[in-house]
């Protein structure tokens, strides 16, 4: 499987993402700068974490309106898988590829720690190597991860099984509605998540709980 | 044409920053403050001299970028 990592100015987790994709998938992903006018023909597009455009206006708002996002939207409509982690998730919601919005953490604090994540839907292209209800460890590092959606939208993503990751009981670091940590679009080929699975893929990280996400996608 | 755009959080959307400001005001002794909601102000200059088209343009600007209408409302005011 071929993958690409898209880099916007201000992102800082692209190296970790490239390492995870290469170590688990066996081949290095293409790294695409946001100004590039073409995106290689890949099966998986990843938008990593960081602080695109300094989080000016709203986290992810400026990157979401870039021409590169039009290309990504077009590929997503054609069924290409898209993964957004942390700022990548914020960018995907701002671009309208995923419903809802990520607001300032309820605590107002930047949260950098490990949380427990519950797999809320293992029947997706991203979570097939996990099982429903399984609890995994995963690091988070964000200031704006407080998921919010209007009542109707929330009901619809819950009813459609689009909530894929939830913070396990007592683990919600940001005040997210329904403990939501990651969601897909209705079609299931776009996933956004606040936690960083790319940072828990080998024993040197202290665990490998994030590995199955990439293994399922890439192999 | 100068205009001012005000973006505010919709009613019912949690505003932790507003709450923190409320707490700070209370600790400063402002006992009469019931609620604070934080918003954003944008002062925009447009090349057009026509207020109607300026307002239309600004509404489009708000919908497309300045406001996230999932959680925010906006108001456009032409200053002159």
- One-character DSSP codes across B20-42: HHHHHHHHTT-TT-------EEE
Q: What is the CATH number of domain A3-218?
A: 3.40.50.880
Give yes or no for a contact between A148 and A200, defined as CB atoms under 8 angstroms apart: no
What are residue B45's phi and psi, to 5 degrees? -110, 130
pLDDT at A219: 72
| DSSP state letter for A73 | H
- The parent domain of residue B18 ranges over 2-78
For chain A positions 54-113, those within 8 Å of chain B (CB to CB) are: 57-58, 61, 65, 94, 100-101, 103-108
Give yes or no for a contact between A174 and A106, defined as CB atoms under 8 angstroms apart: yes
Q: What is the CA radius of gyration of chain A?
A: 16
CA-to-CA distance for A64 and A121, rounded, in angstroms?
A: 27
The answer to whether B66 contacts chain A (CB < 8 Å) is yes
For chain B positions 1-60, those within 8 Å of chain A (CB to CB) are: 13-14, 16-17, 20
- The strand order across the sheet containing B40-45 reads B40-45, B2-9, B72-78
pLDDT at A99: 98
Mean pLDDT by 10 residues, chain A (219 residues): 96 97 96 94 98 96 96 98 98 98 95 98 97 98 97 98 97 97 98 98 96 92
Spatial CB neighbours of A95, under 8 Å, sequence gap ≥ 6? A60, A64, A65, A69, A72, A73
| DSSP state letter for A195 | S
pLDDT at A218: 86
Return the closest-CA partner of residue A146 out of A120, A110, A122.
A110
Q: Binning pLDDT at 50, 70 and 90, where does residue B80 land?
A: confident
CATH number at residue B7: 3.30.1280.10
Q: Express each pLDDT in B46-60 by its tens digit.
A: 999 999 999 999 999
Least confident of A17-26, A129-138, B14-23, B61-70: B14-23
């Amino acid at each position: 499987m071929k993958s690409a990592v898209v880099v916007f100015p201000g992102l800082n987790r692209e190296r970790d993402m490239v390492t995870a994709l290469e170590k688990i998938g066996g081949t290095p992903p293409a790294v695409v700068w946001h100004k590039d006018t073409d995106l290689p023909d890949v099966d998986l597009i990843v938008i990593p974490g960081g602080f695109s455009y300094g989080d000016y206006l709203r986290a992810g708002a400026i990157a979401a309106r870039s021409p590169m996002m039009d290309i990504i939207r077009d590929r997503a409509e054609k069924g290409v898988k898209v993964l957004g982690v942390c700022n990548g998730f914020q960018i995907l919601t701002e671009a309208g590829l995923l419903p809802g919005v990520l607001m300032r953490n309820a605590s107002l604090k930047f949260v950098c720690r490990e949380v427990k994540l519950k797999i809320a839907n293992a029947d997706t292209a991203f979570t097939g190597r996990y099982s429903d209800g399984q609890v995994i460890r995963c690091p988070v590092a964000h200031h704006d991860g407080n998921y919010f959606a209007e009542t109707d939208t929330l009901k619809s993503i819950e009813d459609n099984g689009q909530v894929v990751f939830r913070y396990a009981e007592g683990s919600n670091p940001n005040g997210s509605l329904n403990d939501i940590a990651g969601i897909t679009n209705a079609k299931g080929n776009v996933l956004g998540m606040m936690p960083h699975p790319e940072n828990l893929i080998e024993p040197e990280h202290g665990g490998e709980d994030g590995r199955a996400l990439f293994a399922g996608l890439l192999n | 044409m100068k205009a001012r755009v005000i973006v505010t959080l919709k009613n019912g959307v949690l505003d932790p920053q507003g709450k923190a400001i409320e707490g700070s005001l209370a600790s400063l002794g402002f006992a009469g403050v019931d609620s604070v909601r934080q918003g954003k102000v944008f002062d925009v200059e447009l090349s057009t001299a026509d207020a109607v088209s300026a307002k239309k343009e600004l509404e489009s600007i708000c919908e497309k970028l300045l406001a996230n209408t999932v959680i925010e409302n906006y108001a456009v005011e032409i200053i002159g």
